[in-house]
């Protein structure tokens, strides 16, 4: 038995813990986590704007991959810190967890930064960080490397104005990919400009020589105007409002803008202290309750509801495009990445404030309100009609033989937590997958070619498409608003397509379908993408698989760096899953013990919705623009 004593107990000092376990602070090391570094710095600048001390923010994505954010706020203090007299307040903020000016309301009445870890985490996970402060008529600068001070605080002389500039370069030993995405940065800045109507955000993308400016004098109303006009309005007027001095201390603020459109899906973007809350929380619950109760009460007062019909909240918010923003002191979030707001008592406050104004809006606009109720009634009736006609599909048993898609090769187990459905392209790949699977827990559904693009297909084509109907029946949990994630027949739904351009296209079509019609699979984290290898590398007696060109290059370099004579290397490229033997497919892509799966999640609702509309919608010009934007990054990634 191995020894275990006091010497085995490690103590991580300073920011070592952040570098050791970045997932605890920024949720991982993937693209979302990488962009969260920008979020932390940008939100620091936004807090100055929300507090009324800044009205301009500049963000620059430099050609070397570094990012800098500048504001014209008060500037981070640079005088010696009372508890650490040998360090400036700036150095303490940058190198010490849980340090900052937002633990009380003396400096900021409301703020997005709460835990005092944001800037220190950015510093810890960057190769270098440089901060320049203009304050009290002087300009100061300090540089940090891998979380540690690399220079003393320098006094650069006199300067006008005030503000903070913070630049950083992510550490590639922490993040597998350190390339920031143009679209994500622009959406990040656009959304924050909507949330504070007084701020102007300038963005400069150096390598693309692009300049953007975001300023929305009407706040969320400008955002909803743009979204609703693109989607097509069901009700001509938007329901907008703003309430100041909310909460027990009177320091909070609530703002909303809502439009009902002709689209099927609901689009609700919520924020707290300018922080996006994609998983919702107390403020969203309050808004939905206000809308549901207000619309139902108006309908009942005008006798607009058929006898026995009780519209649900989903019926009321169907087709809604909404923005909701709250500013409150000391909000409570679930985790440092602040995905969900858990502020006690806020739900009831938001519900009361919005419902009171909704009642006035509905009764003051009876024609529009009646049109809204008519659409709610229609959705409720359609929901009940589908529910009556829908038969839940259960797995075949000795006493229950139900019709499943003929192409589906089902599994034996009824354990939802253990079962998986692999969606594969074509009969050839399906044949290999059927032989490679574990028949107790893994089911295979082959699809013929590319499924329908549901982003711009009419409902009639959607309902008649045999491949989509097979998919709906196999999963067995309904579709659209009637989709019930708890009734799904498999614990995991796994998209398994070839590792080439055609496979990526099929995967994109499937992702579009799941996002638009089975979105809870993403929200509840049950949707995955298999990662089949593109190459097999034989090095002497060893065999290795590589997902892509980058992994192939790293493997080859590893062989070449060995001290002994490099073995003879042969490389074969798989043209598709059907070309792989069942044994190869199992050991690389399907066996839970050694496969790699990529979980599909929605981390930015606004960006995700816009990306699907842009790339899968009716406008070819949008796709052309995307190709032109990405062309510089794909020069060495052509798949011919």
Q: Indicate which residues carry an active-site annotation.
A: 425, 498, 500, 502
- Tell me which residue of 515, 424, 431 sits closest to 467, measured CA to CA: 424
Q: At what angle do helices 346-364 and 366-389 cross, to 10 degrees?
A: 120
HSE-up (13 A, CA, CB side) for residue 472: 20
Region for residue 136 given its phi and psi (left: phi exceeds 0; alpha: psi -120 to 50; beta: otherwise) = left
Strand order in the sheet with 535-539: 542-546, 535-539, 569-573
Pairwise CA distance, residues 576 & 591, whole Å: 18
Sign of CA dihedral 285, 286, 292, 296: positive
DSSP string covering 284-348: HHHHHHHHHHHHHHHHHHTT-SPTT----HHHHHTTEEEEEEEE-SS--BSTTTT-SB--TTHHH
Pairwise CA distance, residues 276 & 321, whole Å: 16
C-alpha dist (Å) from residue 9 to 6, 12, 18, 24: 6, 10, 18, 20
Specify whether the CB–CB gap between 193 and 200 falls below 8 A.
yes
**Helix segments in 161-219, DSSP class H:** 182-195
Specify whether the CB–CB gap between 286 and 354 falls below 8 A.
yes
C-alpha dist (Å) from residue 226 to 194, 202, 321, 620: 12, 20, 10, 20
Q: At what angle do helices 346-364 and 282-301 cross, to 10 degrees?
A: 30
DSSP string covering 410-473: --S---TTT-EEEEEEHHHHHHHHHHHS-TTTEEEEEE-SSPP-TTS--HHHHHH-HHHHHHHH
From the centroid of its chain, how far is CA 256? 21
């Amino acid at each position: 038995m191995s020894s275990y004593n006091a010497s085995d107990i490690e103590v991580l000092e300073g920011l070592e813990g952040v570098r050791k376990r970045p997932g605890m602070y920024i949720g991982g090391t993937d693209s979302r986590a990488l962009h969260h570094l920008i979020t932390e710095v940008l939100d620091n600048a936004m807090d100055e704007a929300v507090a009324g001390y800044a009205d301009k923010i500049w963000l620059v994505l430099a050609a070397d991959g570094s990012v800098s954010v500048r504001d014209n706020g008060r500037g981070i203090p640079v005088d010696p810190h009372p508890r650490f007299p040998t360090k400036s307040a700036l150095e303490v903020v940058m190198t010490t967890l849980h340090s900052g000016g937002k633990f009380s309301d003396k400096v900021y009445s409301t703020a997005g930064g709460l835990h005092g870890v944001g800037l220190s985490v950015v510093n810890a996970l960057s190769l270098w960080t440089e901060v320049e402060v203009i304050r009290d008529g002087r300009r100061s600068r300090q540089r940090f490397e891998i979380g540690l001070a690399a220079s003393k605080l320098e006094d650069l002389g006199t300067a006008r104005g005030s503000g903070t500039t913070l630049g950083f370069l992510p550490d590639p030993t922490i993040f597998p990919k350190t390339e920031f995405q143009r679209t994500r940065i622009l959406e990040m800045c656009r959304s924050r400009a909507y949330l504070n109507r007084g701020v102007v955000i300038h963005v400069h993308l150096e390598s693309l020589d692009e300049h953007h400016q975001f300023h929305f004098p009407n706040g969320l109303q400008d955002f909803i105007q743009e979204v609703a006009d693109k989607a097509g309005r069901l009700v001509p007027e938007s329901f907008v409002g703003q309430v100041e001095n909310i909460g027990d201390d009177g320091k909070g603020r609530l703002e909303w803008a809502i439009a009902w459109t002709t689209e099927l899906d609901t689009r609700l973007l919520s924020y707290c202290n300018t922080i996006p809350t994609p998983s919702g929380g107390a403020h969203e619950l309050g808004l939905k309750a206000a809308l549901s109760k207000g619309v139902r009460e108006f309908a009942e007062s005008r006798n607009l509801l058929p006898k026995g019909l009780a519209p649900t909240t989903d019926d009321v918010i169907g087709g809604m495009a909404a923005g909701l923003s709250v500013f409150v002191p000391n909000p409570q979030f679930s985790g440092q990445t602040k995905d969900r707001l858990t502020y006690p008592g806020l739900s009831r406050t938001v519900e009361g404030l919005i419902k009171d104004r909704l009642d006035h809006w509905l009764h003051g606009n009876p024609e529009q309100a009646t049109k809204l109720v008519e659409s709610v009634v229609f959705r409720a009736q359609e929901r009940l009609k589908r529910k009556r006609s829908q038969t839940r599909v259960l797995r075949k048993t000795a006493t229950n033989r139900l019709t499943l898609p003929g192409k589906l090769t089902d599994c034996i187990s009824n354990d939802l937590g253990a079962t998986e459905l692999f969606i594969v392209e074509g009969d050839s790949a399906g044949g290999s997958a059927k032989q490679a699977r574990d028949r107790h827990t893994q089911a295979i559904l082959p699809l013929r070619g590319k499924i329908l693009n549901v982003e711009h297909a009419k409902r009639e084509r959607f309902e008649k498409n045999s491949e989509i109907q097979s998919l709906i029946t196999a999963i067995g949990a309904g579709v659209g608003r009637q989709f019930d994630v708890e009734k799904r027949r498999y614990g995991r739904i796994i998209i398994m397509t070839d590792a080439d351009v055609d496979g990526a296209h099929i995967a994109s079509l499937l992702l579009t379908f799941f996002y638009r019609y089975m979105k809870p699979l993403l929200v509840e984290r049950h949707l995955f993408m298999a990662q089949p290898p593109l190459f097999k590398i034989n090095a002497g007696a060893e065999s290795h698989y590589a997902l892509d060109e980058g992994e192939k290059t790293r493997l080859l370099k590893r062989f070449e760096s060995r001290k002994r004579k490099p073995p003879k290397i042969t490389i074969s490229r798989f043209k598709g899953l059907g070309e792989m033997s069942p044994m190869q497919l199992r050991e690389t892509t399907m066996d839970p013990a050694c496969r790699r799966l990529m979980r599909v999640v929605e981390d930015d609702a606004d960006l995700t919705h816009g990306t699907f509309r842009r790339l899968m919608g009716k406008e070819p010009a949008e796709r052309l623009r995307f190709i032109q934007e990405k062309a510089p990054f794909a020069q060495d990634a052509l798949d011919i």
